[in-house]
Amino acid sequence: MRWVTATNLQQWADTLQARTSFPALVADLIRATAANISDIRFPNGDKGQVRGFDGVLDATGMPTYVPDGRSIWEFGVTEGAAGKAASDYEKRTRQVDEAARKETTFVFVSPRTWDNPTVKLPDWVQAKREQGAWKDVKYIDGAMLEDWLSTCPAVAARWARYELRLMPSAGARSIDEFWEEFSNRFSPALVEEVLLAGRESQGEELLRGLNEGTARLAYAADSPDEVLAFAVAAIRRAEPSVRFFLEARTLIVDTEDAARALVGKSGLIFLPRGQARGIAGLLSQYGPTVVSAGADEKRSNHVLLNRPHSSALGKAFVAMGFTEEEGYDIARRCGRSLAVLARQRPSGTAERPEWMDSAEPLLPALLAGAWVSSGNADQAVLCTLAKCAEYEVVEAPLRKLAKLKDPPVDHVGDVWTMRSSVDAFVHLGHLIGPEHLRQFSAAATRVFSYIPPAPKEDELFRPLAERQDAHSNWLREGMMTMLLHMAVLHEQADFTVQGTTPQEFVNGIVRGLPGLSGDYRLLASLQDNLALLAEAAPIPFLEALERLLEGDAAAIKPIFEEQKGFLTPRTYYVGLLWALETLAWDPALLLRSAMCLARLTAIDPGGSLSNRPINSLRAIFLSWSPNTGAHAKQRTAVLAHIVRAVPAIAWPLLTKLLPRSHDTSSPTATPKFREFGAAEREALTFGVVWESQAAVVRLALEHVGQEPGRWETLIGAMSEFPPETLDSMLSALDSVLAEVTSDIRFPIWDALRKEANRHRAFADTDWALRPEALARVDAVIEKFKPDDQLLQSAWLFDDWMPTVPGVAADAEDPMAPVDAARSDALRAIVASSGVQGLVDLAKRVKQPHSLAMSVQTLQLPREQLAKLLRSTVETGDGLDIVSTTIIAEGFMRFGDSFAGDVQDTVAALDVEPRRTARLLTGLDENMHTWRVVSSFGRDVNEAYWAQKHSYSIKGSTEELLFAIESYASRGRPIAAIEAAVRRLKEVTSDVLLRLLDSAIPEINASQGRGGTMTAYYLEQVFDELETRGDVAPEELAKREFAYLPFFGRRKKPLTLHRLMAERAGLFMEAICAVFKAANAEAREVSENERRLAVAAYDLLEGLRLVPGQAGNDIDEKVLLQWCYEVRDLAKTVDRVDVTDGRIGHLLAHAPASSVDGAWPHQAVRSAIESIASDKLENGLAIERFNMRGVYGKGIGEGGDQERELAKQARNWADTTQDFPRTSAMLMRIAEGWMRDAERADVDAAKQSLRS
């Protein structure tokens, strides 16, 4: 087939375009012809006139036109090409050294046909070759290019259409031509991302197959054209080098004649379409062929193209100029189907779907929307809608419709759903008559009013989805969506209802739901679909909810109750919030929706979920991101109304709405189809935001009253207030401070002063108050400054690092000014009030420890320090942290002489021993301190060791051992271990074993509250003991058994595990402790037996070391001997089957072979063959599945992970064919993974139907 002739090339050569584009044509021909191209450089376009060779190529040659190895290419487009060829030949011969020329072919190419009457082209070429200057010489003229192009029809078709502007011959096209036609069926034109959405990995697999020359690449989608469009999109979005290579070879073949003409052409990639698909098998003999199939065709090993999730498809639509939100909406409405999209967004007249000819059997499916065919309740509803007795009557015609190219329904597993309920309703809505509506009304009332009965105590557990008397969520959502279509899309569908309007028909169904206005359980049962119900019938929904909220709202309060869930609590009110959020978008419904949310907020008891009614209100009214279509003035009016009508929520809501310098918000639920207030949506300008914020502040000032906590909130937010509202706040604050008593005035004044200090310290930030505003704040602070020195200083000790003016953000020691300010304040207090002033201040501040540390900077004389100690101790244990610090300072500065002062204080105030001991815990951990403590008497010494924290001992070994014994003798072996954990090598094995033994009662008494650090300390002890030769393995193993619960996350094998892998009897003891004999009667077990069984089971589960294993190798003889011994013992105790299962469980953890890389190790393979136990192999297979552990999947991922695991198991089975039982077992494992993959595919497909 010749799309381009030599004459066409001759004419094209006269154009300016040819001079710059001709190298690209030659490059395309080379890519379509040559194999193994290692280097290609053919500058064209703007780069076509640069210096150097016109082209450089290094490739495996393909006769006749591509030379083997390295070649340089020169081009001549203008007239006189023969002369330029001779000139270029001479020039390049001079420039290139002889050695390089001997390895290089010189090629000259011209689009003009050789026309030299004196010298024939073959003679010119032969003469140059005889000179021997180059490895070879070639001249390719227009006539030869015509022939070359005929062997590369994909290149010829594309260049004929887009460069030479020629119409190609009928029956075959380039992929560019196909894409231009296909993409422009849509408005706006489709982009490649849409075809690849959710199919990225399949696109990569296709490109890999095309590059590797796979003969048959079979794919199926809704239509064959979608398959071809997918293939073309994958090529067009490939890396440039891959794209250019594939584009040059790929051809769309439309007709059978064209396909037959291409038979025998090598080096091409075929995408047969229409009639040509019948020749696909023949074409695949000569080049990679994409075999396409539609939904209505039989498929033979076709890969089904993934149907993308709406979220992925919505993102792809962004490239077509839509927002992501618009894209998601388009994806959802078209059912993720390109066929439906072409009808909804056609560039011309949309095609009538062929399923319109089977409209009648579709109507029950349309009214149901979706259902589960395995559910009796769902089947009954479909029979009601179809007015038939047998469900098969409903489903039989749908199975045929599901196989159409453009099917109206999807069938995944046991789920049926309309592909695009919008598309179907628009086309079929006019066929819905009175009888259909009567049946639908009855069915909808039955489905929506169903409340699952509470299960009985003796009833077998079944998830709700598996109960045959419950309708599926698919059906509920499907019928609820149909209600919404009737209410909103009736004009587009020409849907009418006799004697009333579609909206009133829908309202009547919702109003008629028994229990909607009186039983919260109905709302709970509908919670997943309440937003759809509310959008379909807003007024009846709000009427029902308002009745439930009347009075004390006792009828709806239980909806907030939380039930325990697997990971998170289970609640039933969230759907109600989504419904009200949806309705709040309608300006006309904002007040009623907000009032319902306000009343729900008032009765909300709170809970573990952050999704609360008050947060819905915040999102709706947030000044900078309102989630409603109402304009600012309306929002403000509604907000003012609800805070006055429901005062209990006023302050909590207003504080959430106060302006902040950094804020976040989450979008609320939005309408699915209604466009509430979209036409008059207000532009959100800065002015609108500022006015809304000012309104919130004004409302807050109305509700702040004289409560210090509320004023602190306002003061903390005042920097973000609009200027006029800041003045209003300061004026109101001035009035309040003038009226209230001092105990109320001080916390408000203190909050204002702290905030002013913060702004002054960070004056150069964007959020700080400007100097003029700060001056107004300072005026209020100065006006109400307290006279009390303590009140003026307390703030310095309320925070760990209070904001002190003058602290530079980049200061080397930011605490230095704080410490200085604290010291200055304390000196002033001591000067005016003595040490009692320090005590009074300590009683006021929030961090008395900071005060105690600052007291040290005063260097008080011993007498004053002792007096201060006595006063703080006398004040009560609330200042013990201060007293402890004073005692530590006293001993540090005055030595043991200060002990007398402490003893005098304790004696004079009759301090009980336990408190006295606590006051001494601030002293250093050493022998000297412990002697001082003992001097306070036996009771104090006992209390000291019984309650002090077990800090790591840093002194001598003698001090370490003394501390260990002191803790242990007071029943605190865990504390002894904690104190010694960093110095275990200094502690004898006998002591460590004794600590482990004595720690068990302590741990049991604490009911396992030791935490992860205790487990870490114990593990360190066991690790240390494992290294010691004076500890018998049996002794260590006995203690490991006692501490098994602490080794749940330990990776390193226990000594006990090693013993079990060596001693068959020990392994069998664990089996007997857990499992009863096969023929024994079940009996009640004692508590000790139960605990032993739990511990033994944990031991068996933790056993990962295979007998005979050393690293990644296993001694086959040792393994087999151990297995035989265990199985012999199992026979004697009647536990053969369970023992074989546990042996298999253990062997599942064996390493892979170091010889062939396959799993399991050869020793395990031999054991499997030798033992020949189905129970063993079953136990092994089960554990291999369980070893996968927790895993994650992406949205719509399907069974790809499981297929990889199956592939791995099959490869192992192939490698281990010399071990037939092992190989067969691995194949069963592979089959199990494939079953899981198929289930995951179905689950993903079902999930996609909901997206």
pLDDT tens for each residue of 32-41: 998 789 999 9
Residue 105 phi/psi, 5-degree rounding, is -95, 135
Tell me the three state secondary structure of residue 168: coil
At residue 95, the pLDDT reads 94
User: Does a structural domain hold residue 101?
Assistant: yes
Same domain, 1153 and 1005: yes
- Given a contact cutoff of 8 angstroms between Cβ atoms, the answer to whether 457 and 486 are in contact is no
1244 closest CA partner among 1200, 1206, 1209: 1200
State both tokens at 675.
């466009």
User: Does a structural domain hold residue 1030?
Assistant: yes
- Given a contact cutoff of 8 angstroms between Cβ atoms, the answer to whether 978 and 967 are in contact is no
State both tokens at 278.
């019948």
Strand partners, 346: 186
- Given a contact cutoff of 8 angstroms between Cβ atoms, the answer to whether 535 and 484 are in contact is yes
Angstrom distance (rounded) from CA 1064 to CA 848: 63
Assess whether pLDDT exceeds 90 at residue 761.
Answer: no
Rg over CA atoms, the chain: 42
What would the mean pLDDT of 360-375 be, rounded to a whole number? 94
pTM of the model: 0.71
| pLDDT confidence tier of residue 322, bands split at 50, 70 and 90 | very high
**Is pLDDT larger for residue 1095 or for residue 48?**
1095
Per the prediction, the chain carries an average pLDDT of: 90
Neighbour count for residue 17 (Cβ, 10 Å) = 13
Number of structural domains (the chain) is 5
Instruction: Give residue for tokens 């500022």.
Output: 690
Angstrom distance (rounded) from CA 643 to CA 653: 8
Residue that finishes a domain, picked among 474, 503, 532: 503
At residue 672, the pLDDT reads 85
Angstrom distance (rounded) from CA 201 to CA 306: 10
**Is pLDDT larger for residue 730 or for residue 1?**
730
- Strands 104-109 and 136-140, by their bridges, are parallel
Tell me the three state secondary structure of residue 71: strand
| pLDDT confidence tier of residue 847, bands split at 50, 70 and 90 | very high
Assess whether pLDDT exceeds 60 at residue 777.
Answer: yes
Q: Which of 62-71, 346-355, 392-401 has the lowest mean pLDDT?
A: 346-355
Q: For the chain, what is the total number of helices (H) and then of strands (E)?
A: 61, 16
- Which strands form 35-41's sheet, in the order they lie side by side? 35-41, 55-60, 69-75, 104-109, 136-140
Alpha-carbon distances, residue 168 vs 4, 22, 113, 173, 232 (angstroms): 8, 19, 21, 7, 19
State both tokens at 914.
């336990």
User: Does a structural domain hold residue 465?
Assistant: yes
At residue 886, the pLDDT reads 95
- Given a contact cutoff of 8 angstroms between Cβ atoms, the answer to whether 963 and 976 are in contact is yes
Please report which helix (H) or strand (E) contains residue 1110, including its range. Answer: strand 1109-1110
pLDDT, tens digit, 9 for 90 and up, residues 785-794: 988 888 888 8
Same domain, 219 and 304: yes
Same domain, 58 and 12: yes
Angstrom distance (rounded) from CA 497 to CA 619: 38
- Given a contact cutoff of 8 angstroms between Cβ atoms, the answer to whether 737 and 784 are in contact is yes
Same domain, 237 and 324: yes
At residue 256, the pLDDT reads 85
DSSP, res 37: E
Interaxial angle between packed helices 815-844 and 848-855, expressed in degrees from 0 to 180 and rounded to the nearest 10: 110
CA 775 distance to own-chain centroid: 49
Which value, to the nearest 10 degrees, does the dihedral of the CA atoms of residues 191, 197, 199, 201 take? 100
Which value, to the nearest 10 degrees, does the dihedral of the CA atoms of residues 77, 79, 85, 88 take? -70
pLDDT, tens digit, 9 for 90 and up, residues 291-307: 998 866 666 688 889 88
Residue 396 phi/psi, 5-degree rounding, is -55, -50
- Given a contact cutoff of 8 angstroms between Cβ atoms, the answer to whether 704 and 710 are in contact is yes
| pLDDT confidence tier of residue 964, bands split at 50, 70 and 90 | very high
Residue 563 phi/psi, 5-degree rounding, is -105, 150
Angstrom distance (rounded) from CA 229 to CA 194: 10
Cβ neighbors of 1225 (< 8 A, separation 6 or more) are 1168, 1177, 1180, 1181
User: Does a structural domain hold residue 82?
Assistant: yes
- Given a contact cutoff of 8 angstroms between Cβ atoms, the answer to whether 711 and 751 are in contact is yes
At residue 170, the pLDDT reads 65
E strands present in 845-899: none
State both tokens at 156.
């010829």
| pLDDT confidence tier of residue 1009, bands split at 50, 70 and 90 | low
Angstrom distance (rounded) from CA 480 to CA 976: 66
Cβ neighbors of 321 (< 8 A, separation 6 or more) are 188
- Domain at 103, CATH number: 3.40.1350
Residue spans of alpha helices (H) in 631-703: 632-645, 650-657, 686-703
Q: Is it true that the peptide bond before 288 is cis, omega within 30 degrees of 0?
A: no
Same domain, 1149 and 1239: no
- Given a contact cutoff of 8 angstroms between Cβ atoms, the answer to whether 24 and 45 are in contact is yes
Answer positive or negative: Cα dihedral of 458, 459, 460, 464: negative
Max mean pLDDT among 237-241, 639-643, 782-786 falls in 639-643
At residue 36, the pLDDT reads 86
- Strands 269-272 and 250-253, by their bridges, are parallel
Assess whether pLDDT exceeds 50 at residue 168.
Answer: no
- Which strands form 409-412's sheet, in the order they lie side by side? 370-372, 415-418, 409-412
At residue 334, the pLDDT reads 82
Tell me the three state secondary structure of residue 308: coil
Same domain, 66 and 199: no
Angstrom distance (rounded) from CA 830 to CA 871: 14
At residue 48, the pLDDT reads 46
Residue that finishes a domain, picked among 121, 151, 181: 151
What would the mean pLDDT of 226-244 be, rounded to a whole number? 93
At residue 1204, the pLDDT reads 95
At residue 344, the pLDDT reads 86
Same domain, 294 and 408: no
Q: Is it true that the peptide bond before 64 is cis, omega within 30 degrees of 0?
A: yes
Angstrom distance (rounded) from CA 1040 to CA 649: 57
Neighbour count for residue 963 (Cβ, 10 Å) = 25
Angstrom distance (rounded) from CA 599 to CA 593: 10
What would the mean pLDDT of 602-627 be, rounded to a whole number? 94
User: Does a structural domain hold residue 540?
Assistant: no
Strand partners, 289: 216, 270
Percent of the chain with pLDDT over 90: 67
At residue 797, the pLDDT reads 92
Same domain, 195 and 325: yes
At residue 620, the pLDDT reads 96
Instruction: Provide the residue range defining the domain that includes 393.
Output: 356-503
What would the mean pLDDT of 712-719 be, rounded to a whole number? 94
Tell me the three state secondary structure of residue 780: helix
User: Does a structural domain hold residue 1215?
Assistant: yes
Instruction: Give residue for tokens 């003058």.
Output: 806
Same domain, 1117 and 1167: yes
Neighbour count for residue 994 (Cβ, 10 Å) = 15
At residue 989, the pLDDT reads 95
- Counting every residue written for the chain, the total comes to 1251
516 closest CA partner among 499, 528, 534, 504: 534
- Given a contact cutoff of 8 angstroms between Cβ atoms, the answer to whether 487 and 536 are in contact is yes
State both tokens at 606.
């709170």
Cβ neighbors of 505 (< 8 A, separation 6 or more) are 437, 441, 486, 497
- Given a contact cutoff of 8 angstroms between Cβ atoms, the answer to whether 960 and 995 are in contact is no
Residue that finishes a domain, picked among 323, 344, 365: 344
Percent of the chain with pLDDT over 70: 95
pLDDT, tens digit, 9 for 90 and up, residues 473-488: 999 999 999 999 999 8
User: Does a structural domain hold residue 214?
Assistant: yes
| pLDDT confidence tier of residue 669, bands split at 50, 70 and 90 | very high
Interaxial angle between packed helices 240-247 and 200-212, expressed in degrees from 0 to 180 and rounded to the nearest 10: 60
Assess whether pLDDT exceeds 50 at residue 79.
Answer: yes
DSSP, res 285: T
Assess whether pLDDT exceeds 90 at residue 63.
Answer: no
At residue 1197, the pLDDT reads 82
User: Does a structural domain hold residue 919?
Assistant: no
Assess whether pLDDT exceeds 50 at residue 551.
Answer: yes
| pLDDT confidence tier of residue 456, bands split at 50, 70 and 90 | low
- Given a contact cutoff of 8 angstroms between Cβ atoms, the answer to whether 565 and 578 are in contact is no
Same domain, 129 and 271: no
CB-based burial, 621-638: b 16+ in 10 Å, e otherwise: bbbeebbbbbbbebbbeb
Same domain, 93 and 122: yes
Angstrom distance (rounded) from CA 981 to CA 987: 10
What would the mean pLDDT of 184-202 be, rounded to a whole number? 93
Same domain, 189 and 283: yes
